[in-house]
Amino acid sequence: MKVVILAAGQGTRLRPLTDSCPKCMVEVNGRSIIERQLDTMRSCGIKECDITVVAGYCYDVLKRHLKNTGVQVIVNQEFGHTNMVYSLMCARELMEVEEDILVSYGDIIYGENILQKALDADGEISVIVDDGWYNYWSARCENPLDDAETLMYDEKNFLTEIGKKTDDLEKVQSQYIGLMRFRGQGIKSLMAICNKARARTAIGQKLWDTERSYAKMYMTDLLQGMIREGIKLKAIHVWRGWYEVDDVDDLKLVEKEMNE
C-alpha cells in the first residue's frame, strides 16, 4: 500500500500559527499533526518510503521538517487557487502505477484503530465515516448543521449522497473524516472521474452537483460525482477516535480532550 497525505492548503483559519508553516505542522500538545499521523502509520506497519505528502503552502518548511524521514514530498505549485482534488492529482503518476492507495487529509489526527479500519477494508473504494459525529460537531459549533454536510448510505453501506449543505438532520447519517482507500479498479475509477471533471471544466460544462470548477473541487464533490456515475463507494463506520484541526477553536478542543 502507498499513502498520499494532502497537505497543500494555507490554513488561514489557524493564523498566526500558520504564518510561517503549513497547517499539518501545527502542534497539538507539543507534537505536530503530521508527526502524529506518521506515528500512527508506523504503528500500523506502513513504511515512511511508502508515504507521499502533497505540499503547497510553505512547502520548503515542510520539506525540511520531513528531511531524512524517507517520506516523499510532491509540491502543488498552484496551491493558492486550487483545492483537494487538484492536489491529489499532483500524485497522478503514483496512482497510475500503484494498485492500493490510502488518501488522508493532512489536518486530521486519528488513532491506530481508525487507520486499521481503512487497512482492513476490502472494497475497491472505502470511505471512513464517523457515526459519532453529532456530539463532536456540537462541541465544535453551536448548531452542528451549520457545518455538517449530507452523508447517506443504503442497506449495503454504499454511499448514496455526500457533501451537500442541509438543514435536515436525517440526511446526515454519519460524517466523512478525510480518510479513504482506493484499490484496483477503484483507482481506475477515481482517475477516470478526475479526467472527466477536467474535460468538463475545459469546455465550460457543469460538474455533477457543484458549481466549482475542476481546479476548485472539494473531495466530496469528487465522491458525489462518482456516486452520480454509478461507482460504488463503501462506507466504513467508526465511532469517534479522530479529530480535525481546521481552526483555532478546533485546536483548543482537541488539546483539551486529549488531555482529559
Locate all alpha helices (DSSP H) within the chain, ordered by sequence: 33-43, 59-66, 84-89, 92-97, 112-120, 133-140, 185-202, 219-228, 248-259
User: Tens digits of per-residue pLDDT, 196-237?
Assistant: 999 999 999 999 999 999 999 999 999 999 999 999 999 999
Q: In the prediction, which pLDDT does 109 show? A: 97
User: Tens digits of per-residue pLDDT, 141-181?
Assistant: 889 998 999 999 999 999 999 999 999 999 999 999 999 99
Q: In the prediction, which pLDDT does 124 show? A: 97
- Asked if pLDDT for residue 260 goes beyond 80, the answer is no
User: Tens digits of per-residue pLDDT, 84-105?
Assistant: 999 999 999 999 998 999 999 9
3-state secondary structure of 7: strand
Cβ pair 166, 150 in contact under 8 A? yes
pLDDT (mean) for 187-197: 96
Q: What is the DSSP letter of 5?
A: E
User: Tens digits of per-residue pLDDT, 123-136?
Assistant: 999 999 999 999 99
pLDDT (mean) for 47-69: 96
CATH number of 2-259: 3.90.550.10
User: Tens digits of per-residue pLDDT, 19-39?
Assistant: 999 999 999 999 999 999 999
- Between CA 157 and CA 39 the distance in angstroms is 30
- Asked if pLDDT for residue 58 goes beyond 80, the answer is yes
Domain ranges across the chain: 2-259
Residue 52 identity (one-letter amino acid): T
- Asked if pLDDT for residue 259 goes beyond 90, the answer is no
- Read off φ and ψ for residue 213, nearest 5 degrees: -80, 175
Q: In the prediction, which pLDDT does 230 show? A: 96
